Amino acid sequence: MWLPILGLIIGMAIGLLADIHIPAEYSNYLSLAVLAALDSLVGGIRAYLQNIYDETVFVSGFFFNILLAIGLAFIGVYIGVDLYLAAVFAFGFRLFQNMAIIRRILIAKWSFRKKNKNS
Amino acid sequence: MKQKTIFSLTLISALFGFMIVLQIKTMHQPEVKETRDVWKLRENYLAAREMEANLLAEIRKANETIARYEQERLHSKEQAFIETLNELKQEAGLTELTGPGLAITLEPLPQEMYPGVDNPYLSATILRKMVNELNMYGAQAISIAGKRVVQSTVIREIQGATRIDGFPLRNYPVEIKVLAATLQDAEKIYNSLQISSLRDDFFVDRINMKIGEPEVEVTIPPYDGTIKIDVMESSDEGASE
């Protein structure tokens, strides 16, 4: 379980050390990609806790969601509709839902363990 | 957790961390705040002005130097010599010339007009006559089959072949290029050639002379041999100068 966190730290370190700057006009897309990635990660954790984790679904969902969100925003810019809001709404909504499910599962586990200790 | 799962999870978290940091870096580009007060600004402005004045002075100095060098170059004896040399070279036909002019093509008459008669004969006499006539009509430069005609050019028959400076004219068509001073002059040459007897002279020798329309650009190659001046002597006039 520690390895993913280490990966996160390594990724951040690479981002900090590498001198890469995204032009300001693309920062919208990047923020959307970050949101999609966060959604996929949280969804993956939830699936793992519910024991329905599927590797292929998780990895493909991660990249597909990012591409879809960016594609939607891109099309939105060209047809003059703020389509990126749809992605923000969908991802945000699901993020909260998944978080709530994770919270419940963790609380259930915690209380189960407490009960076992007491008995 | 399976090892593969952990690996992919690690990779994706790393990607996520990288993206987040990139986004944060993009959003938080440091702003440079203006903290100078009016006096400081004024000072900076004055310094910039002074630098501008210095740079302008330097540019002026450099321009003066350039102008001086240019002047010296133009008035130097060396330059005069080079110019004279170039002029003489041009006059002697050692340079390539381009300008308005026309092209004349000499080609054998179709066989059916003279059945049974063999090759056409390009006579040196008629060729010489043509060069003379062209010069008379105001040609500036002439080339025959890519050979420049200069003062010392010899057109004569050696061992059955007409040669220009030793170069045999065996392959037809033979192209003669004529350079004129202006397009009007080229037209004048064209008109003069039309009424000249040259065409008939060539026709007798079974050669058809085609006179091309005046062109805006005709290129005459330079003379490629060495001009022998062994027997030349400077005139008294030239020596006394």
- Quote the Cα angle for B111-B115-B116, to 5°: 110
B3–chain A Cβ distance below 8 A for any pair:
no
**Contact B46/A at CB under 8 A:** no
**Which residues of chain B have a pLDDT value below 50?**
239-241
The token pair at B219 is 């290129």
pLDDT at B114 (0 to 100): 62
CB within 8 Å: B8 and A6: no
Over residues B54-97, the pLDDT tens digits come to 999 999 999 999 999 888 877 777 778 888 888 888 888 888 88
Which pTM does this prediction carry? 0.43
How far apart (Å, rounded) are the C-alpha atoms in residues A101 and A103? 5
Q: What is the ipTM of this complex?
A: 0.81
Residue A93 pLDDT? 93
Return the pLDDT at B48: 95
The shortest C-alpha distance from A54 to chain B (Å) reads 9
- Amino acid at position B16, single letter: F
Give phi and psi for B161, each to the nearest 5. Answer: -120, 135
Chain A contact present for B26, CB below 8 A:
yes
Cα separation, B178 vs B144, in Å, equals 9
Give the β-pairing of B161-164 and B97-108: unpaired
Position B133, amino acid:
E
Those residues of chain A that have pLDDT short of 70 are 1
